[in-house]
Amino acid sequence: MHKGCTVWFTGLSGAGKSTISTLLHERLRAAGAKVELLDGDIVRTHLSKGLGFSREDRDENIRRIGFVCELLSRNGVIAIAAAISPYREVRRSVRARIPNFVEVFMECPMDVLIGRDVKGLYKKALSGEIEHFTGISDPYEPPEAPEVTIHSARETPEQSVERVWLTLKSLGLITHD
């Protein structure tokens, strides 16, 4: 039915990582897959509590998520990670350690992200109230060759999940329809 793998969602805050990864998780579970979801916000409160938002702390957070994904994947579980993961180098490092790594880039224009921002974080970052905000005062390095690019401003969540699902099938990581 499925092979152990990691589906890694990356993109700016508000791009839809949590939404699409949760829908994918539900669909895989309904199909009988062993699957776990590591959402960046939840991981920060448990696995990475105490880390800040410096580059070093962000990289450490991603390495920790990657380590858990590696353990799950090698034990036949589909690990889904949804984290901003702004820096290419640490994503490359995680990818190198995990066979069957599928990177999903959640692309979304800044004006749409700002419009979706119910917490007002972009507004605060743009006014200088929040330092080190990814995409505003800190860089985000988009993936150079993701397996899937989701254009969340132009696709429905269901269309996006279907595209990831079809990629997993084409790579032989799932066989269920």
Query: Which residues are known to be catalytic?
Result: 85
| R_g over Cα of the chain | 16
Sign, Cα dihedral of 37, 43, 48, 52? positive
- Cβ-based neighbour number of residue 94 at 10 Å: 22
End-to-end, the C-alpha distance of the chain in Å comes to: 10
- Spatial distance between the Cα atoms of 132 and 60, rounded to a whole number of angstroms: 16
Report the distance separating Cα 32 and Cα 76, nearest Å. 13
Tokens for 77?
A: 């579980």
In the block, tokens 């269309």 appear at 159
